Amino acid sequence: MAEDGGDIGINTRLAHSGNNPHDYFGFVNPPVVHASTVLYPNAAAMAARSQKYTYGTRGTPTTDALAAAIDALEGSAGTIMVPSGLAAVTVPLLAFLSSGDHLLIVDSIYHPTRNFADTMLKRLGVDVEYYDPHAGAGIASLIKPNTRVVFTESPASNTFEVQDIPAIAKAAHAAGVIVMMDNTWATPLYFRPLDHGVDISIHAATKYPAGHSDVLLGTVSANEACWKQLWETFNTMGCCAGPDDVYQVLRGLRTMGVRLDHHQRSALAIAGWLEGQPGVARVLHPALPSHPDHGLWKRDFCGSSGIFSIVLAGGCQKQQHAFLDALTIFGLGYSWGGYESLAVPVVLGDRTVAKGPYDGPLIRLQIGLEDVGDLKADLARGLAAAAAA
Ligand SMILES: Cc1ncc(COP(=O)(O)O)c(C=O)c1O
């Protein structure tokens, strides 16, 4: 394993973080340990639990390898792996919230996070409030004596507003409130939440870390202050991830830098081109200078990934569906971060604050690893179909 010092390049870190090949006969990849039972040498060791591995749910050499690799990327004290990105949202919320607590969630949140808050958290007695993605330091005015967590996601799901995370973290910490961030869009390559004051960084590793649309996994990384409580909740809930999925994500990490670089370049080329196309009112991509939050993105992020939205110039669901149905390379599917391009209709019916108005219907695009010319031709087919609808 390479030293995880701060002075090595990101692709070197991705290639060598995690396991030490010489711990396992020099094989460069760690073993995929399928485990429930772990044997102890004697009763005294069993009573004291005095060995590194004690039970399959509590960690194996495979999960340790991925956790170490993610900690190196995030700068975190510890990382848990859970069976999906959604579980990576729900487990830390359950770890830190109790009945009677107040939770602030950004209104432009990933819809299933909202659903979890509106159903289970409310049932458990948590007071859930949604705030404007542009709240920034103004979050201070929403913090109550019982506020326990501010949940952020930046850029926003589907509409890609950028949050002022350092300002939010400063205001939250001044009131003793924990800040969580769903950082799936940027990955720790393009934004390191803990460096910007976030306490708990959440990833759907299903997306770019796995990279091939065949694995579900979530990671949650905590700073020193929050790690113990996160780890204890993880063990209390028993929601560990399967070893094959953990291994696949470690495998995906090795190439994530080069894949993301390609996603980034293709997405920017296509987003810029779309801005000049008739039938497109706006392109919602924070790395475009035309985006209202571009300055914030430029200040805090060091790259952009492959997912953004477009706003059609007028029309309604008929034009939106005509666009989608005309596509032949872009698939219609919800998960993202894989090698293939995808498009989905955006529905903002759940929003209370960040709901527009927009000039026309929204379509979210995930730009995959295909050739840009082919993707542009496909999108031109979509725009022609929307214009004709
Ligand atoms: C921002 C964000 N967070 C979390 C998730 C959940 O990930 P998973 O599909 O692994 O549950 C998604 C999935 O689309 C997402 O877009």
Q: Which atom of ligand 1 lies closest to the CA of 153?
A: 1
- Cβ–ligand 1 distance for 152 under 6 Å, the answer no
Please give the pLDDT value at position 7.
79
Is the alpha carbon torsion for 200, 205, 208, 210 positive or negative?
Answer: positive
- Cβ–ligand 1 distance for 184 under 6 Å, the answer yes
Ligand 1 centre distance from Cα of residue 334 (Å): 9
- This prediction's pTM: 0.96
C-alpha separations of 166 from 38, 131, 163, 174 in Å: 43, 16, 9, 12
Q: Which atom of ligand 1 lies closest to the CA of 185?
A: 1
CB atoms within 10 A of CB 83: 17
In the chain the domains, ranked by start, together with CATH numbers, are 10-252 (3.40.640.10), 256-388 (3.90.1150.10)
**131 with 141: CB under 8 angstroms?**
no
Ligand 1 centre distance from Cα of residue 307 (Å): 13
Ligand 1 centre distance from Cα of residue 351 (Å): 18
Please give the pLDDT value at position 6.
55
Strand order in the sheet with 342-346: 280-284, 307-312, 362-366, 342-346, 331-332
The segments of the chain whose pLDDT lies below 70 read 1-6
Ligand 1 centre distance from Cα of residue 86 (Å): 6
- Cβ–ligand 1 distance for 206 under 6 Å, the answer yes
- Please give the helix or strand (H or E) that residue 221 lies within, else none: strand 218-222
Please give the pLDDT value at position 50.
87
